[in-house]
Amino acid sequence: MNAMVALRQYQTVNTQAQVVEASPHRLIQMLMEGGLTRLAQARGAMERGQVGLKGELIGKAIAIIGGLRDGLNMEVGGELAQNLDRLYEYMSARLFEANRENDFAKLDEVAGLLRTIKSAWDAIAPAA
């Protein structure tokens, strides 16, 4: 993962966390946490009928997923990086659909996928 790409993406979603001293591993965790937060907030906005806010929050989640995707190192990551790249692409497409269709199930699907990826990432030792 490219730590600078992750850092730039994290900063663009208006989070307040301290990222200056974070390791590359922690930066990815923070991106995933931010994505999950935006998805939960978007779901709430969708439930309340706040169309503009819902779109803004889904857009931020898509940007975070884009940051995770941009941070993949295809040369080192091999098949795993390629699979994650395709999964992130799928997740972004599903979020576009969720936004367009006001579809809770698609929003929840992406949140579940991101939670699964985060759980695996959290299990990796930071030095890895």
pLDDT per position as a tens digit, 27-38: 999 999 999 999
| Environment class of 65 (CB within 10 Å of its CB; exposed 0-12, middle 13-18, buried 19+) | buried
Judge whether residue 126 has pLDDT over 80: no
pLDDT value of residue 41:
98
Q: 29, 30, 38, 33: which is closest to 62 by C-alpha?
A: 38
Least confident of 5-14, 36-45, 59-68, 92-101: 5-14
Of the two residues 4 and 71, the one the predictor is more confident about is: 71
Rounded CA-CA distance 107/100 in Å is: 11
Sign of CA dihedral 19, 23, 28, 32: negative
CATH match of 3-14+23-123 with 1.20.120.340? yes
* H or E stretch at 1: none
Average pLDDT, the chain: 89
